[in-house]
Structure 1
Amino acid sequence: MAVAGIEIRVFKEHDIPALLEIERECFPPDLAYDRAVFEELSTMSNGVVIVAEVGGRVVGYAAGVAEGSYGHVVSIAVAPSWQGRGIGSLLLEKLEEKLRGLGAACFVLEVAVDNERAIRLYTKRGYRVARVLKGYYGGRDGFLMVKGCLYLNE
């Protein structure tokens, strides 16, 4: 079910506390991003950080980097109490649009092999598994997923 009144907007520095809380809720401490990551991504000329806001409250974010013709989806997270409402899908769609504007023609991302909810989202949005990344998440395997890439020689 979709949420009425979602605003997708560019990240602002005052959003950092909300993003750190979402990180804490969604990721283990060793994988959660800190303030410096969001500050760096938001100041890079090829970086994009957007947030989903409902009623003035930040409930999710998406971050990515345009790397030549590739758009690298760095992270997407939605606060657990807001998951399952289409916010992640909307964030991914808007992130892809912004990365296309920076020259990306196809998209890549990494996801833990056991993150079934995220894998379903990415598959539904046209991503496919390109390869297994052994030990990518501190001993846990990940998938490299791609969308729109004819080949990936990495």
Structure 2
Amino acid sequence: MTVADVPIVWALECALFPVDYWPQQMFLDELSQPQTRLYVVAELEGRIVGYAGLMYIQPIADVQTIAVVPECEGQGIGSALLRELLAEAVRRGAGNVMLEVRVDNPRAQQLYLRFGFEQIHRRPRYYRDGADALIMRLELATNGQEST
């Protein structure tokens, strides 16, 4: 993701997350911190159809956001975005990857479960509309050994 992508990503953010969308400035702030952040976009025929972001502060990486436009769901785009975030977490030496997902978003939960994430906690009323968040974690292998 580049600064030039932000207006398009933000328009998608507002459409996809009408209750919980990030302010546009937040995307710009995130992009200004490449030492601890990675944001990527997925394009299909020259159009941004998904985006995702990762924060890494040693030793933990956190999936900040991941989104795919509804008409492109089920085509592997979310999986590709998540694979890229996980690869970056490994490159940066993360031992774990954490994320929050809405309790009422089973499609996203299934994606994370397929990648090996496990639910470790439930955070009541995490989202602006009062929905709970499931806290999920993926332990990454480090130097051929599972992290502890």
1:36 is the counterpart of 2:35: no
8 Å CA contact 1:50–1:61 kept in 2: the answer is: yes
> Which runs of at least 4 in structure 1 moved beyond 6 Å after TM superposition?
none
Q: Distance in 1 between matches of 2:137 and 2:59?
A: 13
Amino acid at match of 1:147: L
Asked if 1:144 corresponds to 2:141, the answer is no
Q: Decide which of 34, 49, 52 is 2:39's aligned counterpart.
A: 49
Superposed CA RMSD: 1.4
TM score, norm. by length of structure 1: 0.85
Supply the AA of the counterpart residue of 1:52: A
Structure 1: gaps of 5 or more residues: 1-10
Number of residue pairs the alignment of both structures matches: 140
Question: Which one is further off, 44-53 or 14-23?
Answer: 14-23
Paired position in structure 1 for 2:118: 128
TM-score, with length taken from structure 2: 0.88
Q: Distance in 1 between matches of 2:64 and 2:133?
A: 13
Look up the SS of the partner of 1:58 in the other structure: strand
**Long gaps (5+) in structure 2:** 141-146
Q: Distance in 2 between matches of 1:82 and 1:25?
A: 14
**Correspondence 1:1-154 to 2 at 5 A:** 11-29=1-19, 31-44=20-33, 45-138=35-128, 139-148=130-139
Q: CA deviation at 1:100?
A: 2.2
Relative contact order, higher structure (CA 8 A, sep 6+)? 1
Cα deviation, residue 135, structure 1: 1.1
> Identity over the aligned pairs, expressed in percent?
33
